[in-house]
Structure formats: C-alpha cells, structure tokens
Amino acid sequence: DVKVTQSSRYLVKRTGEKVFLECVQDMDHENMFWYRQDPGLGLRLIYFSYDVKMKEKGDIPEGYSVSREKKERFSLILESASTNQTSMYLCASSNVQQPQHFGDGTRLSIL
C-alpha cells in the first residue's frame, strides 16, 4: 500500500511565525502535491513538484513556498503565518497519469 506520511495531525502556531509542514512518501512517486481544503471551497492546489528540486505553482501559491531536496520528501513552508492560512493541509503523491494518494492531513491553526 502507498503510504504518505504528514509530520503532524494538528498544529497551532502564532501569526508571523515561519511554519514547516513535512510530507514523506514511500512509493518512489515522481509527483508530490500540497493542497489546502476549506469548507465550501474544495481542494485547492498550492504547489506541486514533478521531480527533485523542481516545483510549480498551483492555484494559490501566495504566502507559501516549498522544498523538495529528496524524491520522497516534500515540504510546505508558510513564510510568515497569517490567520487566513488556518486550514486543513493535505499532501499527496502520484506517478504520471496515476491517481494521487493522500496523507492524513494537518489541521493547522494560526492564532
């Protein structure tokens, strides 16, 4: 079975902090993704990566950055956390034209 592991299930941070969300997959997938999910807005793509050190902006990249130094690990960084970044964050991985597999999600609260 595909395993996508997100480092935290729940996280509480303060406004202005730099926040790191980590994601690791164990299936040697080429692609990795970061989404946020908010009630009524569905899944929104923040960034994705199709190879080590390669990244592309998704639909809502503002206020976020990413890092992919190793194939299995994809990090999402909130440069200066704001209250409007309170959300459920979901990491996913896949191979080309194959379905994405999701981690359990991180519920992030910014106070």
Partner 1 sequence: QKEVEQNSGPLSVPEGAIASLNCTYSDRGSQSFFWYRQYSGKSPELIMSIYSNGDKEDGRFTAQLNKASQYVSLLIRDSQPSDSATYLCAVHPSGGYQKVTFGTGTKLQVIP
The residues that touch partner 1, with contacts defined as CB under 8 A, are 31, 33, 40-43, 45, 48, 50, 58, 90, 96-105
Nearest to 29 by CA among 74, 64, 77, 59: 74
Q: In the bound complex, what is the minimum distance in angstroms from residue 16's beta carbon to partner 1?
A: 28
- C-beta of 37 vs 67, nearer to partner 1: 37
Distances 63 to 5, 7, 16, 33, 97 between C-alpha atoms, Å = 23, 20, 11, 16, 29
The nearest distance, CB 87 to partner 1, in angstroms, is 13
Give the residue with the Cβ less far from partner 1, 12 or 15: 12
Question: Considering the complex, what minimum distance in angstroms separates the CB of residue 17 from partner 1?
Answer: 24
Phi, psi of 45, rounded to the nearest 5 degrees: -80, 130
* Strands 87-94 and 42-51, bridge-based pairing: unpaired
Smaller CB distance to partner 1: residue 5 or 67? 5
